Structure 1
Amino acid sequence: MDIKTLHDADVIGITTAKTAFDTLATAFGQHVENWQHEVIDRLSHSEWTGTAAGHANTRIQTLHNELQAAQQEIGLVSRALQDAYDGFAAAQAHLISALDDAKTHKLTVADDGGITWDKDPNSPNFAGNDADSQVQQIQARITAALNEADHADQTINARLAHLATNASNGTGLDSATAKADTDAANALQQAPAAGTDPNSVKAWWNSLTDAQQQRMILNHPDQIGNLDGIPAAVRNKANQTNLKNLIQNYNLQLTNLGPEPKKMLSVAETNGGPVENPDYTEWKRKRDALQEKLDGFQNIQKRLDGKLDDGLGGPGSNPPLLLLGIGDQGQGRAIISWGDPDKAKNVSSLVPGLNSTLAGVGGGDAKTAKRIYDSAVKSANDNLEPAPSIASVFWLGYDAPQLDGPSVLMKDRAVEGGAAYNQFLAGLRATHEGAPAHVTAQGHSYGSLVVGQATQHPGGLAADDIILVGSPGVGVDKASQLGVGADHVYVGTAKNDPVAAAPAPGMFVPGWAAYEAITNPDGLWHGTDPASQGFGAQRFSVADGTITDSHDNYFGKDHKGGDSLPNIGKIVSGHGNTITREDPR
């Protein structure tokens, strides 16, 4: 597609063709209806019986099915032409807008896309001191419009070619074929269900024209933004809308709770001492739950807007901050990424653990992901790599256990979270551009158990390296069982980390302690200690820390975790062979 072809294209002619096919479909439908009334209905009410009648009725019914299939196929041509018009009209409008802006800025665009301008400040046609910047923007917009037209051309051509083949070879008269074609056309207007194979999701997304894609983002931001297999930039765009909708919705729900009931019931109301009003108790429970999520959503919005005064910036920062997931399921869901994982050479994805909440994602958790990013960039620079390309994801796609109950002692949240995390990384693998990225799956605290469970799904985890820090066990006995090779499993454990030293459950059962110590000396609450020699992973150096701070210092600034963060950066950037090592315990 070139500029002149798209600019001069008579897209209105497509609507003329669509109208003609609509007329044909209507007329054909009337013939099918007449066939039903004048032939089939008459025969069904006749007295004609016998062998010949049976054969005739069978053949007539077959003809009726073929006519109905043909009617469906004609209608599908009309739908394809409508999508063609929408796609080409949008691309043409984008091109014309870019060319008009170029003219406004006194830039001349040639048919081949080259741009020239007057650089003489004394000339009445001087393009201005910002001409270079304007040229880059205009060129990018022109390229995007041409690519949009090419995409529409390819997808619509494939649909029309398929329907034309059906018409020429007779397969379009088959009811099953017509149904399959109709289902495929309907699928273009409906997002795949959550949990669909990411490669299938990617294929579906690529089958849409740009105009159809934009309609899906506009009409279904919650589905598109959280669907693994959708490109990261698209997910970010959809989730920006979804986040604003969630904030609006939760503000509305808080308003609809009504005024606060009185807190206490009087002696007269209870025929006894004053007690807390049950209506107040329920109102407060609902209010607190809504407010907690709203605070989390608003904090993430502030982070994206660059309104948190901590120097990390927002959407215009370098690297860009993308919102890859947001939702209010359970305790809340949020996935953010410093850098675009679809374009990065090295991708890290951290799963948090104990006490992680939605409210923390926009604050300290965003800082953690950025520290990993910075450490990986430094490692790449130290190894003299040109233009290091990193993406650092913070993945809160599950209900992390809290210290308000026994959830941290159970495996069920890790099993559920592991399935979602496995799907997420598969999605990143599917949408990555160019050569596959070097992917590092990271798990901190209970999050390491989530990563461990994610590796146990058929096909394994779409990761090249695994980092486990502050781990209470990952649900397997050997590093080799995690599917990436024991030499690609890295473990960091602070000497004084209480979580990474939580004993196996049997140690708390009278009579079992001695047996457990003998039969499973490296046992933790969720399996074999990943830092033990028997587990077989590579252990990297971290600071001992104290019993109160060591668990949270693995990604800490100012080297509170010793060599921990620099080692993590080396692994993420693909230089795990340069880590500072520590002997397993």
Structure 2
Amino acid sequence: MDIKTLHDADVISISTAKSAFDTLATAFGQHIESWQHDVVDRLSHSEWTGTAAGHANTRISTLGTELQSAKQELGLVSRALQDAYDGFAAAQAHLISALDDAKNQKLTVADDGGITWDKDPNSPNFAGKDAETQAQQIQARITAALNEADHADQTINSRLGHLATNAGNGTGLDSATAKADTDAANALEQVPAAGTDPNSVKAWWNGLTDEQQRRMILNHPDQIGNMDGIPAVDRNQANQINLQRAHQDIQHQLDGLGPEPNQFLNVADSNGFPVENPDYTTWKQKHDDLTDKMNGIKAIEARLNTKVDATHPPTFLLGFDTNGHGHAIVAVNNPDTANNVSTYVPGTGARLGSIGSDINRSDVMVASANNANKQAGDKSTTSSITWVGYDAPQNIIPEAADDTYAKNAEDKLVSFENGLHATHDGKIGNNTILAHSYGTTTVGYAMRDHGLPVDNAVLIASPGAGVDNAKDLRIDPNHVYAAQSPADAIGWAAATDPSGLGDNLWDNLKTDFGFGDGDHHLMYGRQTTAPQFGANVLPVDPNAGHSDYWNADSPTLVSMGQIMAGKY
């Protein structure tokens, strides 16, 4: 598709053709009604019997089915023509808008898309000091419009070509074929059910024109924004709608809470202590929950609105809702186009309200990966995704001592990782899953029970990954990495299973006599940095606390970046 073709396209002719085809389809339907009344009904009321009558009735019945199938197929042609008009009209409008803006800004657009301008400040046609920036933006809009038209052309051509083939070889007269074609056309107008395989979702999305995709985003942002298999750019658009609506809703609820009630009643209990006001308790719980979610919303907004520069890559909101403690999935750099992609799964305490600090971790990990690439003379790009797409435990006891949270997250994480491959432009060069604390248990369970399509697994400060050996994570154990500082309290997450307790006692006994081998079990399996686990142990600051692995001077952070970049 080129500028002149799209600009001069007579899209009204498509609408006219659609109207003409509707007239044809209506006339065809009237002929079917006449056939039913003048032939079928009269024949059924006749007293014609015998072998010939039986053959005739059978053929007439078959012919009636074929006519109804043909009517369905004609209707599908009309729907395709309408979608063609909508798609091409939108693309043409976007092109004309870009060309008009170019003209207003004194930029000259050539037929091949090249843009020139007068650079003489004394000329009446001087385009201004920011002409180059404006030209780049116009160029991007023109390219997007042409791509939009190409996409519409391909999708509509495929649909019309299929229907034309059916008409040419007679398969369109088959009721099963007509039903399948109708179901396929209806599916284009319906969001796939939750849990649909990401590859099927991507195929559905690709079958829509850009205009149909826009309508889906506007009409169903909550579904599109959180569906694996939808490209990152489109999920981001949908989730920014969800984010704005949630901001308004949460603020409305906060405003509706009214003033804070008195904390205590004017009475004392049997021990003489003041009795807490039930109204205050209810108010406080709602207020704290809403405030926490608002903090998360504002943190996401702040990062999305940060000006993109060398130290602040673009961000994409790949998932968002306020259900429960709230969920958010935020990518630093576009995972669909980055050479290397890493998913970071935080642990206990992860929720919408805490997303700001987790996004910061993705930022510093991308910077670390960029530095690793720079040192290697590699221009590859890296995306780090903060995945708070599950209900994480919110406290150490009792929630983090319960593996139900990890089990409930397995299918969600598997679907998300499969979705990254479905939407990526080509094959992901180096794919990493990186987790912290209870997040390593969540990742470990998913890898153990289902397998994840990743190249590397990085387990930071793990209370156990649900397995006793790295090989049980279903990837090459040479690409499993672990880090745990001696000062990290996670080492106190004692084993609760009998075998783990027994192994720990035996190893402690051997250590007392000078021949212990460092084997140790934690709450959810063997310590990931124990030699027997079989992971590559990363360097750590020996004084690092549980959340210090992302500090600026952390050797672990350097290693994380190298692994993500494929340079470790």
Q: Are 2:314 and 1:320 equivalent residues in the alignment?
A: yes
Alpha-carbon contact 2:500-2:521 (below 8 Å) kept: no
Q: Deviations over 1:449-494 (max 9, x none)?
A: 1111221354x21211110010011111211121220100011011
Q: Deviations over 1:233-265 (max 9, x none)?
A: 111111111111112223334455677777666
Question: For the residues of structure 2 that align with 1:273 and 1:236, how far apart are their CA atoms?
Answer: 52
Once the two structures are superposed, the pairs formed by residues 336-415 of structure 1 within 5 Å of their partners are: 336-362=330-356, 364-385=357-378, 387-403=379-395, 405-415=397-407
Match of 1:309 in 2: none
Residues 1:495 and 1:46: Cα distance change in structure 2 (over 3 Å): farther
Match of 1:544 in 2: 542
| Residue 78 (structure 1) shift | 0.7
Q: Tell me the amino acid that sits aligned with residue 77 of structure 2.
A: V
| Residue 574 (structure 1) shift | 0.7
Q: Deviations over 1:512-546 (max 9, x none)?
A: 9857979995321111221111111111111222x
Question: For the residues of structure 1 that align with 2:151 and 2:394, how far apart are their CA atoms?
Answer: 47
Match of 2:485 in 1: 494
Q: Tell me the amino acid that sits aligned with residue 565 of structure 1.
A: L
Alpha-carbon contact 1:449-1:474 (below 8 Å) kept: yes
Q: Are 2:13 and 1:28 equivalent residues in the alignment?
A: no
Alpha-carbon contact 2:528-2:535 (below 8 Å) kept: yes
Match of 1:310 in 2: none
| Residue 44 (structure 1) shift | 5.3
| Residue 148 (structure 1) shift | 1.1
RMSD: 2.9
Q: Deviations over 1:295-323 (max 9, x none)?
A: 322332233233xxxxxx67997311221
Residues 1:40 and 1:253: Cα distance change in structure 2 (over 3 Å): farther
Question: For the residues of structure 2 that align with 1:60 and 1:254, how far apart are their CA atoms?
Answer: 69
Alpha-carbon contact 2:15-2:85 (below 8 Å) kept: yes
Secondary structure, aligned partner of 2:144: helix
Once the two structures are superposed, the pairs formed by residues 185-584 of structure 1 within 5 Å of their partners are: 185-255=185-255, 278=278, 281-306=281-306, 318-362=312-356, 364-385=357-378, 387-403=379-395, 405-458=397-450, 460-506=451-497, 514=505, 522-545=520-543, 550-557=545-552, 559=553, 561=554, 563-576=555-568
Match of 2:513 in 1: none
Residues 1:571 and 1:511: Cα distance change in structure 2 (over 3 Å): closer
Secondary structure, aligned partner of 2:324: coil
TM-score (normalizing by structure 2): 0.90
| Residue 37 (structure 1) shift | 4.3
Question: For the residues of structure 1 that align with 2:260 and 2:456, how far apart are their CA atoms?
Answer: 52
Q: Deviations over 1:107-133 (max 9, x none)?
A: 222222223333333332233332222
Q: Deviations over 1:76-97 (max 9, x none)?
A: 1111011111111111111111
Secondary structure, aligned partner of 2:448: coil
Question: For the residues of structure 1 that align with 2:150 and 2:492, how far apart are their CA atoms?
Answer: 58
Alpha-carbon contact 2:326-2:353 (below 8 Å) kept: no
Q: Tell me the amino acid that sits aligned with residue 495 of structure 2.
A: A
Residues 1:391 and 1:123: Cα distance change in structure 2 (over 3 Å): same
Question: For the residues of structure 2 that align with 1:273 and 1:477, how far apart are their CA atoms?
Answer: 51
Quick check: 130-139 or 237-246, which moved more? 130-139
Alpha-carbon contact 1:506-1:516 (below 8 Å) kept: no
Secondary structure, aligned partner of 1:505: coil
TM-score (normalizing by structure 1): 0.88
Alpha-carbon contact 2:320-2:327 (below 8 Å) kept: yes
Question: For the residues of structure 2 that align with 1:316 and 1:157, how far apart are their CA atoms?
Answer: 42
Question: For the residues of structure 1 that align with 2:504 and 2:471, how far apart are their CA atoms?
Answer: 28
Alpha-carbon contact 2:348-2:396 (below 8 Å) kept: no
Secondary structure, aligned partner of 1:461: coil
Q: Deviations over 1:141-190 (max 9, x none)?
A: 22211111111111100000000111111111111111111111111112
Q: Deviations over 1:533-561 (max 9, x none)?
A: 1111111111222xxx611111123x2x4
Secondary structure, aligned partner of 1:456: helix
Q: Deviations over 1:213-244 (max 9, x none)?
A: 11111111111111111111111111111111
Q: Deviations over 1:400-423 (max 9, x none)?
A: 112175221122211221221121
Question: For the residues of structure 2 that align with 1:294 and 1:129, how far apart are their CA atoms?
Answer: 40
| Residue 374 (structure 1) shift | 1.2
Alpha-carbon contact 2:65-2:175 (below 8 Å) kept: yes
Q: Gapped runs of 5+ residues in structure 1?
A: 307-312, 577-585
| Residue 509 (structure 1) shift | 11
Q: Tell me the amino acid that sits aligned with residue 471 of structure 2.
A: S
Match of 1:579 in 2: none
Alpha-carbon contact 1:202-1:430 (below 8 Å) kept: yes
Quick check: 396-405 or 565-574, which moved more? 396-405
Question: For the residues of structure 2 that align with 1:103 and 1:347, how far apart are their CA atoms?
Answer: 40
Q: Tell me the amino acid that sits aligned with residue 354 of structure 1.
A: T
Alpha-carbon contact 2:322-2:352 (below 8 Å) kept: no
Query: How many aligned positions are there?
Result: 558
Q: Tell me the amino acid that sits aligned with residue 174 of structure 1.
A: D
Q: Are 2:2 and 1:2 equivalent residues in the alignment?
A: yes
Residues 1:280 and 1:115: Cα distance change in structure 2 (over 3 Å): closer
Residues 1:254 and 1:38: Cα distance change in structure 2 (over 3 Å): farther
Q: Gapped runs of 5+ residues in structure 2?
A: 511-517
Q: Are 2:126 and 1:134 equivalent residues in the alignment?
A: no
Residues 1:374 and 1:511: Cα distance change in structure 2 (over 3 Å): closer
Quick check: 492-501 or 471-480, which moved more? 492-501
Alpha-carbon contact 2:369-2:560 (below 8 Å) kept: yes
Q: Tell me the amino acid that sits aligned with residue 523 of structure 2.
A: W
Residues 1:553 and 1:430: Cα distance change in structure 2 (over 3 Å): same
Q: Tell me the amino acid that sits aligned with residue 528 of structure 1.
A: R
Match of 2:162 in 1: 162
Question: For the residues of structure 1 that align with 2:263 and 2:53, how far apart are their CA atoms?
Answer: 83
Residues 1:418 and 1:51: Cα distance change in structure 2 (over 3 Å): same
Secondary structure, aligned partner of 1:99: helix
Secondary structure, aligned partner of 2:459: strand
| Residue 68 (structure 1) shift | 1.5
Question: For the residues of structure 1 that align with 2:327 and 2:76, how far apart are their CA atoms?
Answer: 39
Q: Are 2:78 and 1:83 equivalent residues in the alignment?
A: no
